[in-house]
């Protein structure tokens, strides 16, 4: 029953106000007695129409149109930037896989070389032989019966630093240095706290 009455009031309001021109000065027919529920609804609807027209006037300004255009371009920019980050991440993932295999190859060859050197040193049975280290600007020369052990340590340290410093994935925060756009002009009723 209430829905029918509300529908009737909306149709009546549409017939009474065919031009859609409503202003704050329009008199509201109020009988000498207290207003009925329908009259209260009509008054609220007229007030709502006035508020909506004010909001429409605000939203039609050039500044608001420029702000909406800026917001569209900003979000298009963020979308393009996200695509670049995704492409960069894919490239970085494939490059890091190739680099990982290169590092594993270098470490395995260092381990094999150190094993060969240790095996030769143990077959000579001269573990207490002469050891020299020469460091110059253009080269480093190590002569020892334990060169294999030095190469083994260098290989393991190199692999450790590769895993901890190079191969780790660092998450990039895309919005940390961005200037966020201001929202378009808010609804006047929301701004008033209604």
Please check whether residue 131 lies inside any domain of the structure. Answer: yes
**pLDDT tens digits, the chain, 194 residues: what are they?**
555 655 665 556 555 554 444 444 555 554 457 778 898 999 999 999 998 888 877 777 777 788 888 989 999 999 999 899 899 889 888 888 888 888 888 888 888 887 787 777 777 665 556 667 788 888 887 776 666 777 778 888 888 888 888 777 677 666 665 556 555 555 444 445 44
Please check whether residue 156 lies inside any domain of the structure. Answer: yes
Measured CA to CA, the distance from residue 47 to residue 5 in angstroms comes to 19
Number of domains within the chain: 1
- Structural domain boundaries, residue 85: 63-166
Please check whether residue 24 lies inside any domain of the structure. Answer: no
Please check whether residue 157 lies inside any domain of the structure. Answer: yes
Please check whether residue 70 lies inside any domain of the structure. Answer: yes
Q: Which residues contact 85 (CB under 8 A, 6 or more apart)?
A: 172, 174
Are the C-beta atoms of residues 113 and 148 closer than 8 Å to each other?
Answer: yes
Please check whether residue 134 lies inside any domain of the structure. Answer: yes
Are the C-beta atoms of residues 69 and 118 closer than 8 Å to each other?
Answer: no
Instruction: Supply the pTM of this predicted model.
Output: 0.41
Nearest one of 107, 127, 132, 105 to 117, comparing CA atoms:
127
Measured CA to CA, the distance from residue 41 to residue 18 in angstroms comes to 18
Q: Give the per-residue pLDDT at 35.
A: 79
Please check whether residue 50 lies inside any domain of the structure. Answer: no
């Amino acid at each position: 029953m209430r829905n029918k009455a509300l529908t009737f009031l909306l149709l009546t309001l549409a017939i009474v106000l065919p031009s859609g021109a409503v202003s704050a000065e329009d008199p509201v027919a109020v009988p000498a007695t207290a207003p009925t529920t329908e009259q209260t609804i009509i008054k609220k609807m007229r007030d709502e129409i006035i508020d909506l027209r004010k909001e429409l006037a605000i939203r039609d300004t050039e500044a608001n149109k420029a702000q909406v255009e800026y917001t569209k371009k900003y979000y298009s920019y963020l979308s393009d930037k996200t695509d670049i980050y995704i492409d960069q991440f894919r490239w970085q993932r494939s490059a890091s896989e190739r680099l990982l295999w290169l590092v594993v190859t270098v470490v395995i060859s260092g381990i094999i070389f150190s094993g060969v050197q240790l095996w030769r040193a143990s077959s000579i049975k001269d573990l207490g032989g002469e050891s020299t280290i020469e460091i110059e600007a253009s080269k480093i020369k190590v002569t020892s019966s334990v060169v294999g052990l030095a190469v083994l340590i260098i290989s393991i340290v190199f692999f450790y630093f590769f895993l901890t410093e190079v191969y780790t994935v660092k998450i990039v925060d895309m919005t940390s240095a961005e200037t966020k756009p201001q929202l378009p002009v808010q609804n006047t009723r929301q701004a008033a706290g209604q």
